[in-house]
Amino acid sequence: MTGRNHSDVLVIGGGVVGLACAHYLAQSGRAVRVIEQDAVGAGASHGNCGLVFVSDIVPLCIPGAVRKEIAGMLRRSSPLYIKPTLDPARLSWLLRFAGMCRADYLPHAMRARADLLQSSSLLFAGLVQSGAIEAEYERRGVLLVYRTESAMRGYEWVNSHLEPYGLAAEALIGKHLQLHEPALRSDVYGAWFHHADSHLRPDRLLQSWKRTLLGAGVAIEEACGLKGFHLAGDRIEGAATGKGDVSAEHYVLAAGAWSAAIAKQLGLKLPIQPGKGYSITMERPAVCPRIPCYLYERRVVATPWPSGYRLGGTMEFSGFSSTLNAERIQALKHAAGEYLTDPVGHPVNEEWTGLRPMTYDDLPVIGRAPRFRNLILATGHGMLGITTAPATGKLVAEIVCGAPPHIDAGPFSIRRFQ
Ligand SMILES: Cc1cc2nc3c(=O)[nH]c(=O)nc-3n(C[C@H](O)[C@H](O)[C@H](O)COP(=O)(O)OP(=O)(O)OC[C@H]3O[C@@H](n4cnc5c(N)ncnc54)[C@H](O)[C@@H]3O)c2cc1C
């Protein structure tokens, strides 16, 4: 197929990862089309906490993670909730996650995550400086805040692993913490301060990036869901969408939590489960935090922007449901009240839920797919998709263009699951 419906690259999914891929592909001179079943930024990329969390190089699957979380896992009000299920895909994912909580996996995962995060951090600075994105981006660090000394001590192990990477956090206790962040309650014990992190407003990130891409000639088709593929041997020849057939030389699958179902149409196994999270977006409270605060025991993040304020968190493994659970929304406010003097802003502008694309080894899947030589995967970014999108986009552009990858792409290959 040639002509109007043909492009060099077709990107499936208009979330932050799809837009980042489109950005670096267009910069490399490729004609790009993005198809999005809903609207750009309608998925997990919309209402997340907006941390550019470059110090978060330790994966979720660490030794002891299962033992530590298991007691709370089945409690509906717990920050981590796993709905009892007989779904074989979810059960297998959970078993494999447990299998990854090994000391020998940690150095490999940390190296790979550090490469991706460090690259993204530099790329974000460039994107902001060039004006490609306008998202209230600020580098103020992130505070991991603890109500109790014992919980704060629990992070020392992680912090010691961050030291060799130059990412160790500074401990702030009592008055020192109050000086850094006066919005915290005086009975909070302390915080680890990560200086290298930044934050931004995700909905503005997506809208400004969309504008920049349209200006650069990228075709963005919204309300244009992928329905299926036209195959010819080891190539994808075309894609059927809700708006008709389109074709491309290369196809990038960047459909977040929905990627596994799309890959299945091609006979590919992608072990990605939706990890449901919640957020509430409000006007800034009168006493608003200056620095984003990760309220650690409750796994809730409070993110301030000049234009508003958000509480977000929870991780629910309960399938693809988009139902807003009022109990969870309430739990976010309640948790914030345990740490912040003025935890809730008025009015509340949005209550939201989104699905993180979770892999069981907490590394994304970036690289060529097996069986189809013109399919590239860019998915499974879990809890860090905003942070890692730019480096993912750059890597995908390098793969498409046959350029040497700027970081080692090996750890992100789908082959690790085969
Ligand atoms: C509560 C919460 C807080 C978070 N906080 C942070 C944070 O502070 N920092 C951070 O880095 N990350 C954070 N994340 C994670 C981050 O939001 C995700 O990792 C990231 O948004 C994933 O981006 P994506 O583009 O892969 O997926 P999505 O944004 O979900 O985009 C995928 C898109 O594909 C589209 N799609 C699906 N199927 C089709 C189809 N058949 N045809 C066409 N289009 C299709 C969907 O509509 C969707 O728009 C958080 C997530 C949640 C839920």
Q: Where is pLDDT greater, at 80 or 404?
A: 404
Cβ of 251 below 6 Å from ligand 1: no
Confidence of residue 77 (pLDDT cuts 50, 70, 90): low
State residue 64's pLDDT score.
83
Is the CB–ligand 1 distance for residue 274 below 6 Å? no
Q: Is 80 exceeded by the pLDDT of residue 123?
A: yes
Residues with Cβ < 8 Å from 377, sequence gap 6 or more? 252, 253, 259, 263, 270, 365, 366, 367, 368, 369, 414
At residue 72, the pLDDT reads 62
**Each residue of 96-107: pLDDT tens digit?**
999 999 999 999
Residue nearest to atom 52 of ligand 1 (CA): 48
CB-based contacts of 371, cutoff 8 Å, min separation 6: 234, 266, 267, 268
List the residue whose alpha carbon is closest to atom 14 of ligand 1.
383
287 CA to middle of ligand 1, Å? Answer: 30
Helix (H, G, I), strand (E, B) or coil at 330: helix
Is 60 exceeded by the pLDDT of residue 1? no
| 196 pLDDT more than 80 | yes
pLDDT, averaged across the chain? 95
Band of the pLDDT at 227, cuts 50, 70, 90?
Answer: very high
AA identity, residue 73: M
- DSSP helix/strand/coil, 378: strand
Alpha-carbon distance of 41 to 59, in angstroms, equals: 25
Pairing of strands 244-253, 6-12: parallel
pLDDT value, residue 208: 98
What number of CA atoms fall less than 13 Å from residue 295's CA on the CB side?
Answer: 28
Atom of ligand 1 nearest to the CA of 382: 19
Cα distance between residue 109 and residue 130, in whole Å: 32
> What are the E-state strand segments in 225-347?
226-232, 235-241, 244-253, 272-282, 293-295, 300-305, 308-317
Average pLDDT over residues 138-157: 97
Nearest CA to ligand 1 atom 2: 48
Single pTM value for the model: 0.97
Average pLDDT over residues 72-94: 78
Cβ of 387 below 6 Å from ligand 1:
yes
The token pair at 120 is 């993204």
Q: What are phi and psi of 400, to 5 degrees?
A: -60, -40
pLDDT digits (tens, 9 = 90+) for 356-405: 999 999 999 999 999 999 999 999 999 999 999 999 999 999 999 999 99
Report the C-alpha dihedral over residues 283, 285, 291, 297, rounded to 10 degrees: -100
Residue 98 in tokens: 């447990």
Structure tokens at 317: 């493994």
The pLDDT assigned to 347 comes to: 97
pLDDT at 298: 95
The C-alpha atoms of residue 223 and residue 392 are separated, in whole angstroms, by 24
Q: Are 237 and 249 in contact (CB under 8 A)?
A: no
Task: Assess whether the C-beta atom of 258 lies below 6 angstroms from ligand 1.
Answer: yes
Split at pLDDT 50, 70, 90, the class of 418 is confident
Q: Are strands 293-295 and 142-146 parallel, antiparallel or unpaired?
A: parallel
- Ligand 1 centroid to Cα of residue 47, in Å, is 9
> Which residues contact residue 73 at a Cβ distance below 8 angstroms, ignoring those fewer than 6 apart?
80, 81, 82
Give dist(CA 322, CA 417) in Å, integer: 28
Assign residue 334 a region (left: φ > 0; alpha: ψ between -120 and 50; beta: otherwise).
alpha
pLDDT reported for residue 87: 87
Mean pLDDT, residues 216-226 taken together: 98
pLDDT-derived band of residue 41, with 50, 70 and 90 as boundaries?
very high
**pLDDT for residue 71:** 57
Cβ of 309 closer than 6 Å to ligand 1, yes or no, is no
Q: What confidence tier does 83 reach under pLDDT thresholds 50, 70, 90?
A: confident
